[in-house]
């Protein structure tokens, strides 16, 4: 393992291992007492967060290769599943506005809530829309246009499930996630859930963030130098990154029989920085090709094998 201060790292190990047990047995309590609060609790303004959700939808559109009109035509009559929406169902609201029939959001942690900030985000999302899209977006709430009345679950359903899995079969035309797969605790189980839940002609689009999420201590990617046993003891129940690199995602697609229609890095770390940390990597990363190790985030589109 890479260290520049062994005492500091031993203390970190002890604290993280203890809080991992709290997260294991009292996940709701853990979410409340830690920073697992979601996008709405950050420093961004409600308009900036609304812009983030707008950008997410634009990115999904681009991954599908559609212009705006074609994206809306595609979404009409489509059932969508979103894994891990966080505390604001902004993507779901926009996809419904653009024409999707229903959106089911499933999460492992109960983050979704109406706070002052989140209410402002929903209102900002509504204010950016016009015409039919705005009318549709208003109706996602039990009282049209009023986020406090809650979501009409026939249009946007939110559920918290064990391991964040939908558990359904042949139900969705589009399955999405952003900044989620790097947190799942059993990648094969999530890929199998995608395979089962996706309709035969469906598409599944994911943006995966392979960065350390604040777990690097001294150098980029030094969180990859804890042994797997230590890392599991410290972080396995907290929704922290699972650390898997892109090779593991390719393997999970193979294991579950999903085809990878598209796979591309979005950001990369310099190979020089990879070479700095390479001699200290934990065993499970030592055989990952150097170029793949440099991926900081990537997009993938999955579908059924023809
Ligand atoms: C970094 S947040 C991203 C939230 C949102 N997608 C966004 O872009 O703002 C990660 C989300 O993944 C969820 N999550 C963690 N493990 C999960 C799992 N196994 N299945 C589904 N969601 C999970 C978390 O609870 C959280 O909602």
pLDDT tens, position by position, 103-115 = 999 998 888 999 9
- Ligand 1 in reach of 183 Cβ (< 6 A): yes
Kindly state whether residue 284 falls inside one of the protein's structural domains.
Answer: no
Kindly state whether residue 9 falls inside one of the protein's structural domains.
Answer: no
In the predicted model, residues of the chain with pLDDT beneath 70 are 33-37
Element (H, E) at 20: helix 6-25
Domain enclosing residue 116, as ranges: 37-213+243-269+295-304
pLDDT, tens digit (0-9, with 9 covering 90-100), for 234-278? 998 887 899 999 999 999 999 999 999 999 999 999 999 999 999
Mutational test site, ligand 1, from 95, 105, 108, max ligand atoms within 8 Å of CB: 108
Cα(26)–Cα(20) distance, integer angstroms: 10
Kindly state whether residue 134 falls inside one of the protein's structural domains.
Answer: yes
Kindly state whether residue 247 falls inside one of the protein's structural domains.
Answer: yes
Kindly state whether residue 106 falls inside one of the protein's structural domains.
Answer: yes
User: Sheet harboring 258-268: ordered strands across?
Assistant: 156-160, 102-107, 79-83, 172-178, 198-209, 295-304, 258-268
Mutational test site, ligand 1, from 60, 107, 121, 159, max ligand atoms within 8 Å of CB: 107
Q: List the CATH number of the domain containing 115.
A: 3.40.50.150
Query: In the prediction, which pLDDT does 296 show?
Result: 98
Cα(100)–Cα(75) distance, integer angstroms: 5
Kindly state whether residue 223 falls inside one of the protein's structural domains.
Answer: no
Ligand 1 atom nearest residue 109's Cα: 25
Query: In the prediction, which pLDDT does 242 show?
Result: 94
Kindly state whether residue 11 falls inside one of the protein's structural domains.
Answer: no
Kindly state whether residue 180 falls inside one of the protein's structural domains.
Answer: yes
User: What domain count does the chain have?
Assistant: 1
Query: In the prediction, which pLDDT does 76 show?
Result: 96
């Amino acid at each position: 393992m890479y260290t520049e201060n062994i005492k500091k790292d031993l203390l970190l190990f002890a604290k993280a291992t203890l809080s991992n047990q709290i997260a294991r047995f009292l996940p709701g309590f853990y979410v409340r007492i830690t920073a697992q609060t979601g996008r709405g609790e950050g420093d961004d303004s409600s308009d900036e967060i609304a812009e983030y959700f707008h950008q997410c939808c634009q990115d999904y559109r681009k991954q599908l290769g559609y212009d705006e009109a074609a994206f809306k035509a595609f979404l009409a009559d489509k059932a969508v599943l979103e894994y891990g929406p966080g505390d604001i169902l902004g993507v779901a609201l926009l996809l419904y506005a653009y024409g999707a029939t229903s959106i089911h959001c499933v999460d492992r942690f109960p983050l979704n809530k109406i706070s002052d900030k989140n209410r402002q985000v929903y209102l900002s999302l509504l204010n950016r829309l016009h015409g039919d899209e705005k009318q549709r977006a208003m109706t996602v709430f039990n009282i049209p246009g009023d986020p406090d009345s809650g979501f009409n679950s026939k249009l946007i359903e939110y559920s918290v499930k064990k391991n964040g899995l939908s558990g359904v079969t042949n139900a969705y035309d589009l399955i999405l996630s952003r900044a989620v797969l790097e947190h799942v605790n059993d990648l094969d189980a999530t890929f199998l859930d995608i395979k089962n839940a996706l309709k035969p002609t469906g598409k599944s689009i994911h943006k995966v963030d392979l960065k350390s999420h604040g777990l690097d201590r001294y150098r980029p990617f030094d969180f990859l130098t804890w042994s797997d046993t230590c890392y599991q003891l410290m972080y396995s129940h907290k929704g922290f990154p699972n650390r898997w690199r892109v090779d593991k995602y390719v393997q999970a697609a193979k294991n579950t029989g999903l085809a990878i229609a598209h796979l591309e890095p979005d950001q990369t770390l310099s190979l020089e920085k990879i070479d700095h940390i390479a001699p200290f990597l934990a065993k499970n990363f030592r055989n990952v090709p150097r170029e793949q190790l440099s991926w900081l985030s990537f997009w993938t589109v999955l579908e059924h094998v023809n």
